[in-house]
Structure 1
Amino acid sequence: MNLYGVSRSPSQILFGAGQRHALPAVVRAYGRRVFICSDKRLRQDPALVALANSLEMAGIMVAIYEGTIAELPISCIQEAAALAKAFNPDVIIGLGGGSCMDIAKLVALLLAHPAELSNYYGEFRVPGPVRPLIAIPTTAGTGSEVTPVAVLADPARATKVGISSPYLIPVVALCDPELTRSCPKSLTAIAGADALTHAIEAFTSVRKSPTPELAQTQVFVGKNAMSDVHARVAISALAAHLAQAVEDGNDMQARAQVMYGALHAGLAFGVAGTAAAHAIQYPVGAETHTAHGAGVAALMPYVMEFNRRSRIPEFAEIARLFGVASVGDSDALLSRKAIDAVDALFQRIGIPRSLSELGLSDGQVHVVSIQAMQATRLVNNNPEALDEQAMRRIVDAAQSGDRSSLAAL
């Protein structure tokens, strides 16, 4: 096997408690006019208010859009882009959770390349650099601060769609775990579970033929040596610290480790991609109007069970990273322990154990299975081949909350 790796990341990643205070100096490298994309939390969190004020005190002109809506409907993006165009900023800041960072990416895109967003759906369709973008996460989960993708909701389509291009990677990711202190328990759990799902799917995704054209024609190139490094760091950090961060939101060491894990999970899946859990969640989310992180995490043990036979060594390593390996355990046994460990962690932090707990009805299972197959890139990135019958088997198991039918495969 050829050693092959791909890495795409911001020009700078600043990580650590207090790093938010570097923001004025970071901004000045790109200009003096800033457009901040955020949501209503901006005015409610003193730390975020102080951050915006620090820019103005440094002589930087600031305009703020705080109307970001979760799942990013196109109308929201268009509203923000129109305000940004009138302000004509030198740099865009995405301040908040994944939707705030994604809308900042799309505003930066539309300022540089005005067109219908549908022109950019898919991979490598952004024609060139976008307005400089700084991402500042206030949750630890999506990894959007380092990824080349923005996800939005198009009312003309049944599920969410993505725009993927290396041009969308922020120039700076400023990750200060102190900004997650006010994140409530449920959101900490859902975001962290999302990050762990990113890492596991990146670590176990398809390994593609490493042709010279691969990274030039596909944003997501599958499992590779560099993405594996980031995935291991993410899994280790989240396995050890996510539950503690959920149970004690004032434990800043745990919060820092979870944010560190989410960052590395983003660096992993930003090149390797995700797979079946994400393909299924998109229609599940559309049907149930539930959080993305809750959906992919609820699905993860079932997808792992389905994929186990194709990724026994990787799952065994996940078990070791979770600390559940015993001397003499075979890889086959460890691969099962890995699934149990992920399932147990998600149970501990309150992730739903089935799609029915998310609110999916039995009558919606068929629709979800069909629509999940339409996420071709994600389906093709799954290590175990998927067809309509296999997809239905996963969804049926996840709906009932019983992995046994998949374990028999």
Structure 2
Amino acid sequence: MSLFGALRLPREILFGSGQRRALGAVAAKAGRRALVCTDERFAATSSFAEMMDDLRASGLEVSIYDRVLPDVPSDTVGTCVDAARAFAPDLVIGIGGGSCLDMAKCAALLLSHGGVLSDYYGEFKVPGPVLPVIAVPTTAGTGSEVTPVAVISDPVRTLKVGISSPHLIATAAICDPDLTMTCPAGLTAIAGADALTHAIEAFTAVRRDGDAALSQKHVFIGKSALTDHFALMAIFLLGQSLETAVRDGGNAAARADVMLAAMAAGCAFGTAGTGAAHAIQYPVGAITHTAHGLGVACILPYVMTYNRAACLSEMAEVGTALGVAGRDTEMLAQGAIDKVAGVFGAIGIAPTLAALGLAENRLDWTAEQALGIDRLIKNNPRPFDLPGMKRLVRAAYDGDMASAAA
């Protein structure tokens, strides 16, 4: 197979301590009237006030929507947009966790093209460019600052839904690890575990031929030489620093590693896509109302076990990136699974679907729903049928790693 690479990224990415102070200058290049989307907690911080002062000092008028909720209920996007129309923003800035960034993307979409969010569910439904979006994450996990995806909660549907389009990629991402220093240990763990899941699923995704039409017909196109680079960077950094960042939130070096890893993982999966761990989490999350990062991380070691034989060399590279010693491919691959499970156990990730609160009588429904999420399942390196998915979900419920390989 010939060498192939593909990436879709923001026009500008800034990373490092203090980079939030570039917000005014970056925003001034994109517009003059900024709608800022954040949540009540961050809106009350001195860091937020400083950034708003910077925007105004750079000549921008600012309208603040500070009522972003977790998982972005779809009706709240309409509320935000209706309130912003009279202000007539020409750019949107998301500051906060993944939900704040996704709100900014969705607001930019509706302000640009009208309609309702359900008009755009799925892939390539956004008809053209949206208002410029600047993403300033304050957590290290979702990677939304660099991805083409916005995930929302639709009360009409059981599962969370996604809008996937290259037009949703932020114009600029400003990633300042200082903004994560006050993140509590539990949130640091869940967000970091989410990032590690993104990176591993992107690196072990199916590899497709580099047909010129591939990237023009699909948002997620599988692994490539370019996405692999970012995925391995993320895996290495998280293996090195995630436990430290959870245990010692004041460790600036660990915080920087984890935030850089989350961004790199977003660079990888924003083009490569994710796989079965994410597909299973969508129905699990809908039933258990557990955090997305917690769910995908709980499932990941079982999915890695299921996929191991189909991507043995990639799994061995994951092991090497995580610091597993040795040269034997089989041992490195198994070491990768053991290392991931060990890290997740150390930071408090639930080890089974039962521990997440999934009811046993919903296992078959979970498997059926997961199998139906084609944009993720088609990306998994080992194919699924319904019996295979049911076995995997049962194994993750029981904590039976051996059965996950069947």
Scaled by the length of structure 1, the TM-score of the pair is 0.98
Task: Give SS of 1:210's match.
Answer: coil
Rounded Cα–Cα distance in structure 1 between residues aligned with 2:129 and 2:68: 23
- Residue 168 of structure 2 is matched in structure 1 by 168
- Residue 127 of structure 1 is matched in structure 2 by 127
| Structure 1: tracts of 5 or more residues without a match | none
Candidates 333, 352, 355, aligned match of 2:353? 355
Q: Deviations over 1:164-218 (max 9, x none)?
A: 1111000000000000011110000000000000000000011112211000111
Q: Cα offset for 1:361? A: 1.2
- Residue 185 of structure 1 is matched in structure 2 by 185
- Residue 382 of structure 1 is matched in structure 2 by 380
- Checking the alignment, whether the CA contact within 8 Å between 2:205 and 2:275 is kept in structure 1 is yes
Q: Deviations over 1:27-71 (max 9, x none)?
A: 111222111011112233221222123222333211111111111
- Checking the alignment, whether the CA contact within 8 Å between 1:354 and 1:401 is kept in structure 2 is yes
Note if 1:395 corresponds to 2:393.
yes
Rounded Cα–Cα distance in structure 2 between residues aligned with 1:2 and 1:240: 32
Q: Which amino acid aligns with 2:332?
A: L
Matches within 5 A, 1:129-168: 129-168=129-168
Q: Cα offset for 1:94? A: 0.6
Candidates 372, 384, 387, aligned match of 2:370? 372
Moved more, 47-56 or 342-351: 47-56
Q: Cα offset for 1:229? A: 0.5
Q: Which amino acid aligns with 2:298?
A: A
Q: Which amino acid aligns with 1:165?
A: S
Task: Give SS of 2:10's match.
Answer: coil
Task: Give SS of 1:87's match.
Answer: coil
Rounded Cα–Cα distance in structure 1 between residues aligned with 2:201 and 2:245: 22
Note if 1:87 corresponds to 2:53.
no
- Residue 109 of structure 1 is matched in structure 2 by 109
- Give runs of ≥4 in structure 1 deviating > 3 Å: none
- Checking the alignment, whether the CA contact within 8 Å between 2:396 and 2:404 is kept in structure 1 is no
- Checking the alignment, whether the CA contact within 8 Å between 1:70 and 1:99 is kept in structure 2 is yes
Rounded Cα–Cα distance in structure 2 between residues aligned with 1:24 and 1:379: 41
Task: Give SS of 1:219's match.
Answer: coil
- Checking the alignment, whether the CA contact within 8 Å between 2:140 and 2:262 is kept in structure 1 is yes
The CA RMSD over aligned residues, in Å, is 1.0
Task: Give SS of 2:354's match.
Answer: coil
Moved more, 95-104 or 329-338: 329-338
- Checking the alignment, whether the CA contact within 8 Å between 1:42 and 1:49 is kept in structure 2 is no
Q: Which amino acid aligns with 2:305?
A: E
- Residue 341 of structure 1 is matched in structure 2 by 339
Q: Deviations over 1:280-339 (max 9, x none)?
A: 00000000000000000000000000000001101111111111122xx41011111110
Moved more, 368-377 or 133-142: 368-377
Rounded Cα–Cα distance in structure 2 between residues aligned with 1:13 and 1:57: 22
- Checking the alignment, whether the CA contact within 8 Å between 2:194 and 2:294 is kept in structure 1 is yes
- Checking the alignment, whether the CA contact within 8 Å between 2:205 and 2:223 is kept in structure 1 is yes
Q: Cα offset for 1:122? A: 1.0
- Checking the alignment, whether the CA contact within 8 Å between 2:28 and 2:59 is kept in structure 1 is no
Q: Which amino acid aligns with 2:287?
A: E
Q: Cα offset for 1:125? A: 1.1
Rounded Cα–Cα distance in structure 1 between residues aligned with 2:48 and 2:256: 18
- Residue 76 of structure 2 is matched in structure 1 by 76
Q: Which amino acid aligns with 1:338?
A: A
- Checking the alignment, whether the CA contact within 8 Å between 1:98 and 1:142 is kept in structure 2 is yes
Moved more, 281-290 or 151-160: 151-160
Rounded Cα–Cα distance in structure 2 between residues aligned with 1:133 and 1:232: 27
Rounded Cα–Cα distance in structure 1 between residues aligned with 2:152 and 2:142: 14
Q: How many residues align?
A: 406
Q: Which amino acid aligns with 1:403?
A: M
Q: Which amino acid aligns with 1:281?
A: Q
Rounded Cα–Cα distance in structure 1 between residues aligned with 2:343 and 2:260: 18
Q: Which amino acid aligns with 1:308?
A: R
Scaled by the length of structure 2, the TM-score of the pair is 0.98
Q: Which amino acid aligns with 1:103?
A: M
Q: Which amino acid aligns with 1:122?
A: G
Task: Give SS of 1:128's match.
Answer: coil
Q: Which amino acid aligns with 1:373?
A: L
- Checking the alignment, whether the CA contact within 8 Å between 1:204 and 1:311 is kept in structure 2 is yes
Q: Which amino acid aligns with 1:30?
A: A
Task: Give SS of 2:134's match.
Answer: strand
Moved more, 73-82 or 171-180: 73-82
Matches within 5 A, 1:278-289: 278-289=278-289
Q: Which amino acid aligns with 1:43?
A: A
Q: Which amino acid aligns with 2:283?
A: P
- Residue 273 of structure 1 is matched in structure 2 by 273
Q: Which amino acid aligns with 1:246?
A: V
- Checking the alignment, whether the CA contact within 8 Å between 2:198 and 2:274 is kept in structure 1 is yes
Q: Which amino acid aligns with 1:247?
A: R
Task: Give SS of 1:93's match.
Answer: strand
Moved more, 24-33 or 172-181: 24-33
Matches within 5 A, 1:41-60: 41-60=41-60
Rounded Cα–Cα distance in structure 1 between residues aligned with 2:132 and 2:224: 28
- Residue 11 of structure 2 is matched in structure 1 by 11
Rounded Cα–Cα distance in structure 2 between residues aligned with 1:212 and 1:22: 37
Note if 1:257 corresponds to 2:257.
yes
Rounded Cα–Cα distance in structure 2 between residues aligned with 1:152 and 1:332: 39
- Residue 330 of structure 1 is matched in structure 2 by 328
Note if 1:236 corresponds to 2:231.
no
Moved more, 32-41 or 292-301: 32-41
Moved more, 74-83 or 243-252: 74-83
Task: Give SS of 2:174's match.
Answer: strand
Note if 1:297 corresponds to 2:297.
yes
Q: Which amino acid aligns with 1:82?
A: D
- Checking the alignment, whether the CA contact within 8 Å between 2:28 and 2:58 is kept in structure 1 is no
Matches within 5 A, 1:202-213: 202-213=202-213
